[in-house]
Amino acid sequence: MYICRFAIKKRNHLHSRELFSNSVWINNQLQPATICYENGIITAIHFEKKVTAEDYGHAVIMPGVVDVHVHVNEPGRTEWEGFETATQAAAAGGTTTIIDMPLNASPVTTTLKAFEDKLAATSGKMHVNVGFYAGLIPGNVAHLKAMLQAGVVGVKCFLTHSGIDEFPNVTEKELDEAMPIIAQYNAPLLAHCELYDTEVACGFEEHPTSYPHYLASRPKQWENDAIALMIRKCREHNCPVHIVHVASAEALALIEAAKKEGLPITAETCTQYIYFNAEDIPDARCIYKCAPPIREKANNEQLKKALLSGVLDFIATDHSPAPPGIKEMESGNLKKAWGGIAGIQFLLSGSWTAVKDIMTLEQFIPLVTSKPAAFIKAEKKGAIAIGNDADIVIWHPEATTTIKDEDVWFRYKISPYIGQNLYGTVSETIVNGETVYQNNLIKNKNKGKWLLQK
């Protein structure tokens, strides 16, 4: 009899589990609870330790992290990064859902055909859940409807050169054409906000390895002006607008006023803008180059406070890696180097380390779970609740690790987080009820699903 019961338990082990900890994130608080899940769905919650449950002690058990800003680059630039490596890195960092940007894959996701190519490219390589954005570029407005109907969760545009020639920036003309269509679907228009007429005379040309010169070449004013433009367009068309990677603290007052006015506007910042400070960035180290640039400490402290006050809605990574040559690792030429930071694995630990001095874990957790999940309207994600998907991370907020090359799961070991001492070690990541990452190993591959908007 005993042997028989054991055999049944063993067979069902992968598909049905009971997890207990003294710190489970339920109903916006950390509390002792047992979570039961079966076939990928959370089926029961008990506010006590069930005798049959696996006991995780004081580890935090919470919904899997949601990263709504990732550049996977496949198909077409898989040598930069692909779904195989990017989604393993996500899982290793506690992230269970990512949303992929319409660039830097080739083709860029600006037609239905290109979107179908991207869906096909994920086959057999989705180790976490993946959703997608469509791209808005001059001349493709007629393609937006088809992509929105096919399930993209939003539309992305640039107001300045994107770095990818096939993905040119839009002007007010294209915004006026596209925003009424996007508004019909109640989808967000995501905007890279930097706006400029002429190059800034800052001496960057003569000092291409100098970080202060790079910083001066992309001033806050570019961001402030672009954000002001997007707020105006949001008001004109009543189209949801999302400001990606806010780095200029000067723009926070504009966003706050727009929200108070009741405009459908949201805004994110990224881990790198709150973790690193310009003052500490050495010259000729292109791993720190991203756009907008990482700014001064005083500026970045205000970004953190804006996450606390709700002016900024959540944190993402803007993971945007490139091979060593394109990143100008040898020359250190910041002018030539690809602008983008590889950080998909460090949304949870990097962000927590950056903000733990000014906020509690209870204030932090929604910034990487429920808030980004609400932004992409993923109703079954971002919270531990009966009926939700069993996307779960088990982690230790007070444990620290110094990140080494061999800890990195994304394609190239090129990242400013390598060498950093980060709080928050992930012991297990569960995607749709299957353990995908545990104790430094990827297991049960390809358990992710597409996240398509209905």
Residue closer to Zn ion, measured from CB, 175 or 341? 341
Interface region with Zn ion, contact rule CB under 5 A, candidates 57-65, 255-263, 276-284, 314-322: 314-322
CA separation (Å) from 103 to 109, 316, 342, 442?
A: 7, 16, 15, 27
DSSP classification of residue 168: P
Shortest Å distance, C-beta 444 to Zn ion:
29
Minimum gap (Å) between residue 247 Cβ and Zn ion: 12
Stretch that binds Zn ion, among 137-145, 179-187, 249-257, 316-324 (CB under 5 A): 316-324
Whose Cβ is closer to Zn ion: residue 290's or residue 367's?
A: 290
Q: Which residue is nearest to Zn ion (CB)?
A: 318
Instruction: Give the N- to C-terminal CA distance of the chain in Å, as an integer.
Output: 47
| Element at 378 (helix H, strand E) | none
**DSSP helix/strand/coil, 34:** strand
Which residue lies nearer to Zn ion by CB, 213 or 242? 242
Instruction: Give the residue ranges of DSSP H helices in 160-284.
Output: 172-184, 211-217, 220-237, 252-260, 271-275
Give the H or E element holding residue 397. strand 392-402
- Verify binding: residue 318, Zn ion, rule CB under 5 A: yes
The CA-based diameter of the chain, rounded to the nearest angstrom, is 82
Q: Which is nearer to Zn ion, 135 or 382 (CB)?
A: 135
Q: CB 257 → Zn ion: shortest distance, Å?
A: 25
Cα–Cα distance measured from residue 170 to residue 398, given in angstroms and rounded to the nearest whole number: 44
With respect to Zn ion, which residue has the nearer C-beta, 313 or 318? 318
Cis preceding linkage at 292, omega within 30 = yes
Please, what is the minimum distance in Å from the beta carbon of residue 378 to Zn ion?
20
- Positions 188 through 247 that interact with Zn ion (CB under 5 A): none
- Interface region with Zn ion, contact rule CB under 5 A, candidates 47-55, 88-96, 318-326, 393-401: 318-326
Nearest approach, Cβ of residue 216 and Zn ion (Å): 22
Q: Which of residues 5-24 bind Zn ion (CB under 5 A)?
A: none
SS3 content of the chain, % helix, strand, coil (to 5): 30, 25, 45
Residue closer to Zn ion by CB (options 268, 318) is 318
Place of tokens 């900890």: 21
Which run of H or E residues covers position 361?
A: helix 361-368
Q: How many chain residues interact with Zn ion (CB under 5 A)?
A: 1
- Given the rule CB under 5 A, which residues bind Zn ion? 318
